[in-house]
Amino acid sequence: MSAFSALALMAGCGLGGSGTETTQGGGITKPQVDCDVPAGNFDDKPLNTSELSGEIRFATNGLKKDFGSFFNPLIAKFEQQHPGVKINWEDTPTADDVDARLVNDAQTCVMADVVNVASSTVMALTKANLLMDIDVKAPDTGKDFLPGVWDNLNFGAQGHHTVYPWYWGPLITTYNKDLFVKAGLDPEKAPANWDELVANSKQIAASANGQYQALWGNAQWTFVDSWVGLGVQMMTPDNKKFTFAEDAKTQKWLTDMADLYKVGAIPKDSVTGQPDPSQAYSAGTLAFGSPNASFLRNIKQNAAALYPKTGVGPHMSSPGGSVLFNGQYVGVATTTKNAPLAMAFAQYVTNAENQLAWAKDPNVVIFPSSTTALNDPFFDAKGGSDPFDKARSVAAEAAKQGKVVVGHFYVTGKIDKIINENIQKAITGQKDPKRALVDAQAEANTLIGRLG
């Protein structure tokens, strides 16, 4: 099985891939696709972007409806700077199968020239050589990105980069101050680490008499962030096998979750329910809310009375832990017929100026991957007690420590499903936590082993 088809299978689309690979000149691997790829896309010469012409397609996911007022002028500005250039913006509404469709589009040569790629798709496209080699075709263009992000994105052929990091949202801690008071906890003191969160949750459960709970049980959206924050070693140094089951920190995390479930700190129906705790938090029956900063905007709009009673603090971390960069990326298709224009536009969308401009848009709650943008005074603490101002400052400070963890790119599709099913069984007492982790790791490594 080829690298492409195995990874596509993990992404849930089950597409077949081609077998052999060929190279030209500079040793860049040419993708095996059913269309002609311009020789200049995979030779050893950098692209000349000094004179741009023609048109390209720019594809994003779920952005046009809410952010057309930002991107349309942004695209128009680029076109004005380069007379005769045309950028055709395409946007696909967010859906469960968006990754599978993108992988299929890439293989069948209909993927856009510049693509917004989620972490769940980056590895599949990279392994199949369907994203352009940035280090060869646009050398030295990643210097302004966060070091912990850029320095760990070099998992393409020859240890090169295939995507530019774009926007993201570092996790935070949100909590109901009133429920903290009822439990005898300090409402102005967010838990500083995982052990404090567990202790707080048990204290909340003991005082609640079943009327409310502490922590949401479905960890699908957060378990990788939690593991990385705790310093879990997810994979072997060569990123060929998962190792999380052998890590005592993962074992403790899952054992703690199972204990919290037993004492009533976790809503029984939340473990296998939706991963979003917003509804329960908004109803006042959950002490800890979503760790996504954008959650606060939803609370302000839909549960206004609860908004000023929401406390904010940093997300859980431990010595040796990291802040996971779980964000969006921009890449250039290797099959593009206008590589200079595509590469120039990818750099334009992700540069510091435009990342900062979008982060300042009042309709969005995002953070840049650009070091320059993150150092802007916009992200400084503004004082006062407004939860969102606190969250912006806390998340921006965490963002500076952002780090790409390669193991995260493999937790998608079937692997993600396998791990989550075992986590849920352990939390609800159907499996011993250590056994659940061992079983999840074994199945996940079987899939990775098919990459050859």
CATH number of the domain encompassing residue 148: 3.40.190.10
Sign of CA dihedral 231, 310, 356, 53: positive
Residue 129 has pLDDT above 70, yes or no: yes
Angle (CA) 96-102-106 rounded to 5° is 160
Q: Under a CB-based contact definition with an 8 Å cutoff, are residues 150 and 142 in contact? A: yes
Q: Pick from 333, 363, 379: which residue ends a domain? A: 379
370 found inside a domain: yes
How much is the pLDDT for 364? 81
255 found inside a domain: yes
Cβ partners under 8 Å of residue 298, min gap 6: 278, 282
| Token pair for 86 | 């045309």
400 found inside a domain: no
Are 130 and 35 contained in the same domain? yes
Mean pLDDT of 388-397: 86
Residue 175 has pLDDT above 50, yes or no: yes
C-alpha distance across the termini of the chain, in Å: 8
| Token pair for 389 | 């101002």
Q: Under a CB-based contact definition with an 8 Å cutoff, are residues 161 and 186 in contact? A: no
Specify the length of the chain in residues: 452
Distance CA 24, CA 33 (A): 15
Are 78 and 207 contained in the same domain? no
Are 14 and 93 contained in the same domain? yes
Residue 15 has pLDDT above 50, yes or no: no
Q: Under a CB-based contact definition with an 8 Å cutoff, are residues 283 and 273 in contact? A: no
Are 65 and 164 contained in the same domain? yes
How much is the pLDDT for 100? 74
390 found inside a domain: no
**What are the phi and psi torsion angles at 87 (to 5°)?**
-110, 115
- Residue range(s) defining the domain that contains residue 192: 174-322+408-449
Model confidence band, residue 452 (pLDDT cutoffs 50, 70, 90) = low
Are 267 and 414 contained in the same domain? yes
Pairing mode, strands 402-403 and 323-324: parallel
E-only strand ranges, 41-96? 54-61, 85-92
> Percent helix, strand, coil in the chain (nearest 5)?
45, 15, 40
How many CB atoms lie under 10 A from the CB of residue 314? 19
Model confidence band, residue 382 (pLDDT cutoffs 50, 70, 90) = low
Number of structural domains the chain divides into: 2
180 found inside a domain: yes
Mean pLDDT of 88-93: 92
Tell me which residue has tokens 């502490």.
Answer: 214
What SS3 string covers 15-27?
Answer: CCCCCCCEEECCC
Closest by Cα among 83, 141, 128, 65 to 102: 128
Model confidence band, residue 383 (pLDDT cutoffs 50, 70, 90) = low
Mean pLDDT of 7-11: 48
For residue 79, CA distances in Å to 48, 60, 75, 114, 171 come to 18, 18, 6, 15, 36
Query: What 3-state DSSP class applies to 215?
Result: coil
How much is the pLDDT for 359? 94
Are 426 and 297 contained in the same domain? yes
Are 366 and 436 contained in the same domain? no
How much is the pLDDT for 384? 61
pLDDT tens, 16-56? 333 334 444 455 788 888 889 999 999 999 999 999 999 99
How many CB atoms lie under 10 A from the CB of residue 381? 12
Q: Pick from 379, 396, 423: which residue ends a domain? A: 379
Are 79 and 182 contained in the same domain? no
Closest by Cα among 343, 275, 282, 389 to 58: 343
Q: Under a CB-based contact definition with an 8 Å cutoff, are residues 163 and 409 in contact? A: no
| Token pair for 200 | 């707080």
Q: Under a CB-based contact definition with an 8 Å cutoff, are residues 63 and 330 in contact? A: no
391 found inside a domain: no
Are 298 and 367 contained in the same domain? no
Sign of CA dihedral 153, 317, 275, 308: negative
Q: Under a CB-based contact definition with an 8 Å cutoff, are residues 57 and 90 in contact? A: yes
Are 10 and 141 contained in the same domain? yes
Are 294 and 415 contained in the same domain? yes
